[in-house]
Amino acid sequence: MHGRGGQGAVLAATILASALVEEGMCAVAVPSFGFERRGAPVAAFVRTDSKEIRQMTNIYRPDCILCLDPTVGHTVNIFEGVRAGGTLVQTTNKPLADLLLPPAIATVGLCDAVTIALAIFRRPITNTIMLGALAKTTGLVSLAALRAALEASEFRDAGLAQNLTALQRGFDETVVQHLDKADRAA
């Protein structure tokens, strides 16, 4: 998961791990921290498996990249180490054709999360929207499990309602596209 400080990448990773646990999976979320400044690139890693996960380490060969910010990709190589046939879930208001993707990416979920976030929160906090986008794109986790995880989190009252809306809109408004080999070659 790539984002910028303040967007909630770390919280999103924890909520995703909780949702996966809710689904009966094992999950570990490990955020990488620097000096915690708003706007600085931030990464967090989530592993999931049906059996116990012992590694408490970062991820260097991701199957899926969740990018909470439209421009952080200019600063860090978010595609570093991605496995062939990988998935990208990206915050953007651009069409697929405008994105520069490595050949390893086979599935893309695009969501204009910043616009949605500004409508719901009046601030560009994209994390829960993009969890909805992840659910839509990958099917790795259900919307119901994510909802349950949000309800068990520190969100309360209006904040919880907003985030549940964000989750739903992220799911509903994500466009998922499967790239065939020819597309990727181009």
Partner 1 sequence: MSAVIQPRKAQYVVCDGNEAAALAVALARVDMVAVYPITPQSSLVEYLAKFVADGKLAAELVDVEGEHSVLSVLQGAALAGARTYTATCGPGLAFMFEPYIRTPGLRLPLVMSIVTRDTLSPQSVWGGHQDAMSVREAGWIQMYCESVQEVLDTVVMAYRIAEDHNVMLPVNVCHDGNYLSYGSTRIELPAQDAVDTFLGTPDVNWHAALDPLRPMAIDPLTGGAGGVGPALFVGYRKGQCAGMHNALEAITATHQEWGRITGRQHAPLIEEYRMDGAEFAILTLGSMTGAGKDAIDEARTRGLAVGLVKVKTYRPFPVAALAAALNDVKAIGVVDRSVDFGWNCGPLYRDTLSALHHVAAPIRSQSFIGGLAGADITVEDFGRVIETTSALVRGAGGATIWINDKDRAPA
Give the shortest CB-153-to-partner 1 separation in angstroms.
Answer: 6
Q: Give 88 or 149: the residue with its C-beta nearer to partner 1.
A: 149
- 30 DSSP 8-state letter: E
Whole-Å CA distances, 8 to 5, 23, 56, 93, 175: 7, 22, 21, 20, 22
Q: Which of 37, 39, 49, 53 binds partner 1 (CB under 8 A)?
A: 53
DSSP string, 123-177: S---HHHHHHHHHHHH-SS-HHHHHHHHHHSS--HHHHHHHHHHHHHHHHTPEEE
Per CB under 8 A, contacts with partner 1 among 6-35 are: 10, 13-14, 17-18, 21, 26-35
Per CB under 8 A, contacts with partner 1 among 149-168 are: 149, 152-154
Q: Give 81 or 95: the residue with its C-beta nearer to partner 1.
A: 81
- List of residues contacting partner 1 (CB under 8 A): 10, 13-14, 17-18, 21, 26-35, 53-58, 60, 77, 80-81, 149, 152-154
